[in-house]
Chains A and B, each alone.
Chain A
């Protein structure tokens, strides 16, 4: 063949080389446009250290610690394989082109070192993960360490603005709110109790009347702590855990109210001086593992009562009630807010009413028991409350706990 034939053949063949490259390449057209199969960008959260390709992670005994978007992978080629011996739930391959955020899920209690390798052919990138277990709730980097002093079981509630309530009485302020409470290395069962205003816009003793009401917007995270002297608990700003626990036993507020003459008032009627007792009926129930609330209300000619019985799984329960006294001006000699007989003494701000096996402690804006007063006195008018009665069946309750100290602890990177 002479030169002309060779030139003709080559000239017709050479343009096909480009299409042959595109078709015959293992990665297809990506050979023309990618420089590397993938580019990686690690973005660790502030409590994770990252040096020399090594992540220093934490694991928690309480659950899986999730690190979302720990490594951002932008895949330029058709495929990236991930080869790892870590039990972190990493995918085995990533298809390109596209961007991915790799999430790492560290199982509870996992400690040690493991590797993950991203590769495609002769290109590879390796990351080492060193995990250490820490006594911390997963996913949050801050917690409040609260030291309380008290004795006996305490029913604590945390408002969304961080106010801490014990038995419905505000005892302190925490820097943030949350629903995960850890005491002694164990998580406490918390329950979100929905609250609403009993009479919107009405203030009694300077505060609105917050009462439990199902499906409300505001919730108080409620939990129980057993104190013997000083006790520390940790609050994590995390949402509540879903627990399967039996509901707390309910308490019958109607029986308690009638046994203790709640709302008994003497009212002079044209026919005679009558002792008016409100007739109560149950309105609704809220069931939960920490507290079961039975709400009842009713009225007599002299007043109207809204009473809420909090049944707790420990041998204690609580009553919360608000009373609306009729605006008619009454002169009366009998007004009982709690008690079938006079109180036996005081425990701090509480009036104590011992019963058989259970001692009742009353806290309210008025004297609880006034019967057969020597001179008639003017009955109150309008809203009154909140009246709180703590019923102690254990005999250990030493009154409201005191907040000794509140400290904020931050989780920093290790090493």
Chain B
């Protein structure tokens, strides 16, 4: 486990979740925020952990030198990670009731990477980038 990308993602995730609290406060005013945004606890946890996972995987893939970029599967992973992080931005700065579904959509890169990993273990490959 590399410490620097992990901590960098964690810091950014915490900052985004603080931004979400501020956005929630602005949207709710005096009203009760748990009524307005159900599942806000899960969404907060997802913002923190999801940002950490996105930054971690993006930095690890990018450190794989130019050879990794020749693999389409790695480029697809980077694209999914970027899209996921944009959705997390959306969840942090524009809270809404649909945030749980947005979070589920933003989990796409993790499911993709896990599927690649299972296929790699089955094929005996030592890299995730099978194609």
* Chain B nearest Cβ from A373, distance in angstroms: 90
Name the A residues within 8 Å of B56 (CB-CB): 18-19, 22
Which of A4, A16, A29, A123 is close to B1, meaning CB atoms less than 8 Å apart? A29
Known: A11-B42, A36-B127, A77-B126. A21 touches B68 (CB 8 A): no
The reply on B61 being an interface residue by CB < 8 A is: yes
Is B124 part of the contact surface with A, judged by Cβ < 8 Å? yes
Measured between alpha carbons, how far is A22 from B124 in the docked complex, in Å? 16
Measured CB to CB, the nearest residue on chain A to B125 is: A122
Shortest Cβ gap from A174 to chain B (Å): 50
Q: Does B79 contact A (CB under 8 A)?
A: no
A242 within 8 A of B: no
Give chain A's interface residues, CB within 8 Å of chain B: 4, 7-8, 10-12, 14-23, 25-27, 29-37, 77, 120-123
Residue from the list A10, A15, A27, A37 in contact with B52, Cβ < 8 A: A15
For residue B37, CB closer than 8 A to chain A, the reply is: no
Q: Known contacts being A122-B124, A123-B126, is A33 close to B63, with CB within 8 Å?
A: yes
Q: Who on chain B is nearest to A23 by CB?
A: B1
Q: Shortest beta-carbon distance, A60 to chain B, in Å?
A: 40
Quick check: B107 and A34 within 8 Å, CB to CB?
no
Which residues from chain B contact A11 at a C-beta distance below 8 Å?
A: 42-43, 46, 100, 103-104, 107
Q: How distant is the Cα of A71 from the Cα of B68 in the complex, in angstroms?
A: 23
B31 within 8 A of A: no
Chain B residues near A121: list those with CB within 8 A: 124-126
Q: Which residues does B use to contact A, with CB under 8 Å?
A: 1-2, 39, 42-43, 45-46, 49-50, 52-53, 56-57, 60-61, 63-65, 67-68, 70-71, 100-101, 103-104, 107, 110-111, 113-114, 117, 120, 123-129
Chain B residues lying within 8 Å of A25, measured Cβ to Cβ, are 117
19 further interface pairs, Cβ-Cβ under 8 Å (given A7-B100, A16-B49, A21-B117): A8-B42, A11-B103, A12-B49, A15-B46, A15-B107, A17-B111, A17-B114, A18-B53, A18-B110, A22-B1, A26-B126, A31-B117, A31-B126, A32-B57, A33-B60, A34-B126, A35-B127, A37-B126, A77-B126
